[in-house]
Structure 1
């Protein structure tokens, strides 16, 4: 059987976390470390503070690089492998840089039947971002095709950063959403 990817040819192959992009910053701010430790103190087990700690790191770093995950582990005092496992399991954590406005377009069955592919293409055309290619050159936009945003009865649905837009997003509504982003009326990623 042929494998779709060529075999690793390096004498020193990289571990999965080491293949992630590196962030511009390397350390959490003292304020973030204090916030993470305060959250961890609320739980009988520090491991329970992993999700909120990762959100803090993602907000500060812009995405979760391996360095950010290691910083979270150090701040919580838990194994790095645990933090890496949690961060890579959940889709709400970005492991690569995204634009200031990150569009997630649901193309699952319900949304697909209501024009999700066309909506995705309109987002690509209007922003210049392409799925899987990271942010546009100006850092403003990125787009990703996702499976479900839990609005199956009123799709197609898009999520921009943490805001969900559903109720039959059409071309006019998409234009209004993009214009609101350009005017800064929609919270940018990490805000």
Structure 2
């Protein structure tokens, strides 16, 4: 990585964020530093809330990889955001196991409770509600993820209790 690529990424990332990215890069052989792309994207997102094309270009430059490869990673995984979201991101699993166990009712309850539809952010900027594919907790369906926390075996009452934790 060149000094100019470090300066470019440092426009978007704090010194501690740069240290974390470098820590992850050091885990891989020098020729494989692109392997740190997922963590690098997450560091940038954690500091800004979402990723812009300019931020992804800076990551690509810093990791010496094509920008399109960074875009591919950031658009493949649902954990990366490309537009501003609410303070709390609610991901409701709507894949087959959750669907069969009532995820439609979970979505309906959340939409009614929050006053928003899937893909929207509440007017107060507190919540963004999304439908996502499998989150890997099928055994306890239906489930949702709020920020980084999983909430399983959902009922309307349990959903209300969960939301109280994120006031």
Post-superposition, which runs of at least 4 consecutive aligned residues in structure 1 deviate over 6 A?
Answer: none
CA contact (8 A) 1:129 1:141 kept: no
Q: Which residue of 2 aligns with 1:131?
A: 118
Q: Any idea what the Cα deviations from partners look like across 1:122-151, whole Å, max 9, x if unmatched? A: 111112232123x22221001111221222
TM-score (norm 2): 0.84
CA contact (8 A) 1:36 1:76 kept: no
CA contact (8 A) 2:86 2:125 kept: yes
Q: Which residue of 2 aligns with 1:97?
A: 84
- Could you say if the C-alpha distance between residues 33 and 74 of structure 1 is closer, same or farther in structure 2, counting changes exceeding 3 Å? farther
Give the 3-state SS of the residue equivalent to 2:140 in structure 1: coil
CA contact (8 A) 1:105 1:146 kept: yes
User: Are residue 178 (structure 1) and residue 163 (structure 2) matched?
Assistant: yes
For structure 1, list consecutive stretches of 5 or more residues without a partner in the other structure.
1-25, 183-191
Q: Which residue of 1 aligns with 2:96?
A: 109
RMSD of aligned alpha carbons: 1.7
Greater helix proportion: 2
Report deviation, 1:158: 0.8
CA contact (8 A) 2:40 2:59 kept: yes
For structure 2, list consecutive stretches of 5 or more residues without a partner in the other structure.
1-10
Count of residues in correspondence between the two structures: 155
TM-score (norm 1): 0.74
1:82 to 69, 75, 87: 69
Equivalents in 2 of 1:108, 1:155: separation in Å? 10
